[in-house]
Amino acid sequence: MEHTSKQFEIELEDLRSGLLAMGGLVEAQFERALEAIASGDEELVEVVLREEKRVNDKQIELDRKGMEIIAKRQPAPASASSKLAAYASINPSSARRN
């Protein structure tokens, strides 16, 4: 049981690290967006729009990892579907794929 628990901790830490990295991307995007608005720099606006795809891709990747972690724990089928439905309801963009 310890092996499974340790693997679960590793997977959660990986997910946490990814969330923190995505947070850094979002923070940088926000700062660039504010700068673009304040300066009226159209090139910077284009950079912000291009970089948004990186943030969206990271979110999709993390959503997938989170669902895989839940699925690996093999809860009862009704329980699994209700957990995934609850996850999707609090994170509706997880259903959106670019």
Q: Is the pLDDT of residue 75 over 70?
A: no
CB-based contacts of 1: which residues, under 8 Å, 6+ apart?
none
- CA 76 vs CA 4, 5, 11, 34, 79: distances in Å: 18, 18, 21, 47, 5
pLDDT band at 93 (very low <50, low <70, confident <90, very high): low
| Mean pLDDT computed over 67-75 | 81
Query: What is the per-residue pLDDT for 3?
Result: 61
Listed by start position, the domains of the chain span 2-95
For 59, the token pair is 């979110």
Query: What is the per-residue pLDDT for 98?
Result: 45
